[in-house]
Amino acid sequence: MKIKCDFCKTEYSIERAPSAPVKCAVCGHVWNVVVPSRRGAWMLFIASVCALLSAIVFVTAVVVKSKIEAANRAPIVAELSEIKVVTDDDGIPHFAVSGAIINQSTEIYGVPDLVVVSRDATGHEIARQKFMPSATLVEGGASVGFNHVLSTPTDGVKKITVELQMGDE
Ligand SMILES: [Zn+2]
């Protein structure tokens, strides 16, 4: 291998890396010969490539898994956000429900009709009322709001849920 004096730049050829500081025969400068470890550099390169590959595999696995999960979920869901009691001109109370229709897919969907189900304290259905939300389309990943005043009685109603009208129910 070749080494060079740090000070006067004189070059020397030596058999192997010296274990102790060397002294320049020309100028008398003493310095430590640092031998770059090729094997160490190579191992570091291998390790970084492995880390990169495992990161790519990990990301791919996560993306594939989330795609499967998205496909297994219903593309369209409806969520109630608020239930209020409003009274009409005759002083009769009605439930006013509002919420959102959420498109969990990446494709545009037509907004389905919604069915508001009123149940009593034991979970028995008191009434089902279908209505058409004002929005007709919901973009992928977007949501549209809905609100509706039920004409069905409020007596005994303890739980209200909203369902999507699927097919010709
Ligand atoms: Zn020198």
CATH number of the domain encompassing residue 91: 2.60.40
pLDDT given at position 97: 93
Element (H, E) at 119: strand 114-119
pLDDT given at position 128: 92
Do 97 and 133 belong to one domain? yes
Domain edge (last residue) among 16, 45, 72: 72
Residues of the chain with pLDDT under 50: 169
Distance CA(129)–CA(144), nearest Å, equals 20
Do 122 and 45 belong to one domain? no
The owner of tokens 């959420």 is: 102
The owner of tokens 């005759």 is: 90
Do 92 and 158 belong to one domain? yes
Do 80 and 152 belong to one domain? yes
pLDDT given at position 169: 44
19 within some domain: yes
Distance CA(46)–CA(64), nearest Å, equals 27
Do 44 and 23 belong to one domain? no
89 within some domain: yes
Q: What is the pTM of this model?
A: 0.55
Do 160 and 121 belong to one domain? yes
Do 47 and 121 belong to one domain? no
For ligand 1, a single-atom ion, which residues have Cβ within 5 Å? Answer: 5, 7-8, 10, 24, 26-27, 29
Condensed to tens digits (0 to 9), the pLDDT of residues 50-84 reads: 777 777 776 666 666 666 665 566 788 899 999 99
137 within some domain: yes
Ligand 1 center from residue 26 Cα (angstroms): 5
pLDDT given at position 36: 63
169 within some domain: no
Instruction: Quote the number of domains for the chain.
Output: 3
pLDDT given at position 64: 64
pLDDT given at position 3: 86
Ligand 1 center from residue 37 Cα (angstroms): 24
Do 43 and 105 belong to one domain? no
Do residues 134 and 141 touch, judged by C-beta distance below 8 A? no
